[in-house]
Structure 1
Amino acid sequence: MTEPQAYPFNRDEGLDLDPAYRKLRETPGMIRVRLPYGEPAWLATRYEDVRLVLGDRRFSRAMAATKDEPRPHEAQRPSGILGMDPPDHTRLRKLVATAFTVRRVEALRPRVREITKDLLDAMVETGPPVDLVDAFALPLPVQVICEMLGVPVEDRDRFRVWSDAALSTSSLTAEEFVDNYVQMAEYMAGLVAERTAEPRDDLMSALIAAREEDVERLSADELVQLCNGILIAGHETTATQIPNFVHVLLANDRWTELGEHPDRIPGAVEELLRYIPLGVGGAFPRYATEDIEVGGQLVRAGEPVLVAVGSANRDEARFTDPETLHFDRPQNSHMGFGHGAHHCLGAPLARLELQEALRELTARLPGLQLADEPEWKTAMLVRGPRKMPVTW
């Protein structure tokens, strides 16, 4: 067996998809890769292969807890609901799913639009140049998820640090990660205690009520981990994708088009989710529970497979002209929100926030442009600007 290739391929800076992925998609089978820590893994790069690994119950996430999981960081970190298989995963997911249905999320649109307008009003009043991340992209999803979950928005600077720690790769030692994890868990446990004593009309109170109705359904630790996961996942990727969207639209001269044709925004959001490889590389490996063939390659029971969603979304066998933005792309079945049991629970909310962000930005700031080069995140699982100075 050949020596595993070093992984990931993508650079932290920018949003390019490494050319190696195209070559791999055109090569039969899969290759073995090695992350900085953990055992080697197979790498799935084609659309159908990625879909199979994410959707087939013969691949397990929970098995990673008993293995030397391929990972970019030193510590093997608790994954919460992302590290579960059915039926445990199904039990927790059902508790939260009702809060993120398309119908319930759509009812939030007026409030999301109000927050978006208020943030833009403050940006315009301040005047350019403005850091789009700090002034708009981050506070929008943070305020929305805080209001939904019942977390004080004024504490956002605290959990911003914890969120960065949870998604960091090589920037923290194992001890530093554990310290941040314990701090966030203690913070969330304190909020849970407050909501238990005095319930409110928020998601955390609803989860507490569900636990009290049937104690077997949700343990105290599961409740805290679930709230932590909702808080981080509920803002981090959207806060990263907003400046990513702006960067790609400006680079492709498509900004004014959306301002002039706002009806194209829903299609543009889907296409940008497909086009932008958000992750530095594949993460959260799936372990084969039995021998199974993927893309012509036999994966033995107990072997891990990493999936490259960014590569799958550029697969020529699935998408016509995948290297070009087509806002009217028919049947855009991208995997920007994953696939299978772990398909992103908050996808309807993320779509709504991204639509409203683009709608207001392109309408209010048709002359938006970069004031300077972005400062890119480094040593993180997701790629995007940490700072993006803009003018108009």
Structure 2
Amino acid sequence: MRHAPDLLRIATAGSVDDGKSTLVGRLLYDTKSVLADQIDAVTKASVDRGLEGPDLSLLVDGLRAEREQGITIDVAYRYFATPARSFVLADTPGHVQYTRNTVSGASTAQLVILLVDARNGVVSQTRRHAAVMALLGVPQLVLAVNKIDLVDDQASVFAEISAEFAELTRSLGWSDEQVTAIPVSALHGDNIANRSENTPFYDGPTLIEHLETVPNLTERAPVGLRFPVQYVIRPRTPEYPDYRGYAGQIAAGRVSVGDEVVVLPSGQRTTVSQIDTADGPLESAHTGRSVTILLADNVDISRGDLIAAAVDAPEPVQQFTATVCWLAEKQLRPGARLLLKHGTKTTQAIVGGLDALFDEQNLALVEAPESVELNQIVRISVQTAEPIPADDYQVNRESGSFLLIDPQGGNTLAAGLVGDALAPLHLKELV
């Protein structure tokens, strides 16, 4: 029996004009993941602009207004495949004010391609993006030194940029095995799908070869079931007079009929009696599957509760330390009263204190800042009105993350990680 290739979730990041859109277009083009009429349309548009060949960035740049401004501002998800593996790619913008989009795109990535322009090297936005990836726990990084064809001493430039980036990533907690540097020209296709004769100093894999063979690290450690309840289903029909199911998407782990589970925050224990789907019942289901779970006992459960594996269920908390990336124009100050969304549960929350601000340029902590600005990362203390069954983010991304929301406008203000996500980073003393 022929098995389908496994799926790797990847994301791109980098500064404006580093060539992310061209790189993604090249990946789509070289893996034959675009239709012939799309290529024809791009070629025609490129010729109309006076270009000699197709501008592959046009395959992925979204809105016409964005292209006219010269920057891409949304997070676009692209799909492509090779015989060895399938890929979902989050193409994130490079401008500093869109760091929030980078956080969104990289939050589920198993690998991030971080681009730098060979002419500019590691810049402040490179350091900022690397810091965000470290906080999010991205397990694999690729440094794509793009536009390598535009520098004179390519070998020296590549070696210098790679060494500087390696020093940065080691400081942020990555091992050398987790980081791979590749010299590329997205415009000409050098070292994307085919090894380039223009970079004789480089004997490593092409970008696609690396993407095909890098370990697929879906979870940093095994974790039991985490199932946020989205709906309680009670049809109350003659056909199903006693049906009571709990619908949602499995955030982590696996569930099987007969498993012992605990409902949080109440702490009531029971077993799984049935797993329903739109395609019929299942004996087991895993992360990402939308299911309806039926339990052996009549337990009081409502939207926002969590059904978790009894063996490693998280302890519900109301006071905890968290690390947040502030995504709003207005400042965050101690005592702010906000809404906190964890899984399917939303509750009131108070930011008790701003403990330490992360200076990603100097890899240092600034103690007790008075306020937090857009795109800054800070360790805070949080108190919630209701207990939330959250894991530490270092244990499980899905059940260890949350959002802070403006209670008046409903806008998302921050992406949060439960626990001290700054602790694993090798930071300087408080300044």
State the TM-score bracket (shorter-chain normalisation).
under 0.3
Q: Where is the helix percentage greater, Structure 1 or Structure 2?
A: 1
TM-score, structure 1 as length reference? 0.24
Q: Where is the strand percentage greater, Structure 1 or Structure 2?
A: 2
Pair member with larger Rg = 2
TM-score, structure 2 as length reference? 0.22
